């Protein structure tokens, strides 16, 4: 099956927070259920860079490299007696209006266009990663991490966060859109320092303010890889 979109995802900075499942229940797509790790439910604020982006094999000028920052949570869908684990996006922020139009039109996602920037700085044994997006003023997600990468430990929180290979989108009370994101297992850079500033109420609503004001349960930097976003499927039963 040919991919709808191919790209490389680079330097995925992930800040993860515990959340009351009742906040998420209205967003859960039909035929899926909330996924949990050790009895906890999570949302993640994730910043990363798209590189070498192609849609159905075509490259569009000015849309090959760009930032994304998203807020997501984790669900699973039972298919043929096996759980298929994926993510649901509360909102995805990108700097190009055409990306927003394509994602919202074809995948019924919740993209929003904002002025954005990023910065990667390498030192002898660290890497500084920063993503910025403008909501009345500059918001940011940034960290200093070790330049050395580690394999993700089996059964860890990092594995739970990264090992969700599907995207699910609520279409109605009966219908859900699903698409697979194919990529190899990532490695992670341990984070030494982290800070972020986010206009939570304006972007995501007041129900998420206390959640994202709390200290993250974990923050890590995944190295990323080439990825393929496959064509969407419809789940109706």
Q: Tell me the mean pLDDT per 10 residues along the chain, length 237.
A: 90 98 98 98 98 86 92 96 96 95 87 98 95 97 97 96 96 94 97 97 96 97 97 89
Measure the CA–CA gap between 85 and 161, rounded to whole angstroms: 10
- Residue 185 belongs to a domain with what CATH number? 2.40.400.10
Q: What per-residue confidence (pLDDT) applies to 230?
A: 94
Torsion angle, CA of 211/206/85/44, rounded to 10 degrees?
-50
HSE (side-chain half, CA atoms, 13 Å) at 82? 3
Q: What per-residue confidence (pLDDT) applies to 58?
A: 75
Number of domains in the chain: 1
Measure the CA–CA gap between 148 and 156, rounded to whole angstroms: 19
Q: Which range of residues forms the domain containing residue 229?
A: 3-235
Measure the CA–CA gap between 174 and 228, rounded to whole angstroms: 27
Q: Residue 83: enclosing H or E segment and its boundaries?
A: strand 82-94
Q: What per-residue confidence (pLDDT) applies to 59?
A: 81
- The greatest distance separating any two alpha carbons of the chain, rounded to the nearest whole angstrom, comes to 54
Q: What per-residue confidence (pLDDT) applies to 107?
A: 81
């Amino acid at each position: 099956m040919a991919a709808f979109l191919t790209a490389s995802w680079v330097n995925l900075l992930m800040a993860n927070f515990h959340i009351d499942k009742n906040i998420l229940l209205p967003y859960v797509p039909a035929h899926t259920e909330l996924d949990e790790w050790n009895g906890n439910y999570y949302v993640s604020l994730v910043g990363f860079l798209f590189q070498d982006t192609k849609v159905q094999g075509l490259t569009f000028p000015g849309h090959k490299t760009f930032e994304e920052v998203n807020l997501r949570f984790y669900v699973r869908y039972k298919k043929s007696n096996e759980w298929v684990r994926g993510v649901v996006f509360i909102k995805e922020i990108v700097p190009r209006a055409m990306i927003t139009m394509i994602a919202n039109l074809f995948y019924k996602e919740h993209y929003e266009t904002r002025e954005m920037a990023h910065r990667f700085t390498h030192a002898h044994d660290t890497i500084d990663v920063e993503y910025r997006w403008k909501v009345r003023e500059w918001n940011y997600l940034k960290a200093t991490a070790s330049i050395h990468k580690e394999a993700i430990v089996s059964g860890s929180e990092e594995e739970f966060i990264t090992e969700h290979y599907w995207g699910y989108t609520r279409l109605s009370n009966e219908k859900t859109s699903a698409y697979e994101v194919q990529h190899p297992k990532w490695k992670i850079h341990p984070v030494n320092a982290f800070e972020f500033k986010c206009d939570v109420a304006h972007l995501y609503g007041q129900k998420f303010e206390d959640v994202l004001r709390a200290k993250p349960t974990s923050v890590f930097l995944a190295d990323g890889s080439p990825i393929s976003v496959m064509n969407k499927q419809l789940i109706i039963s």
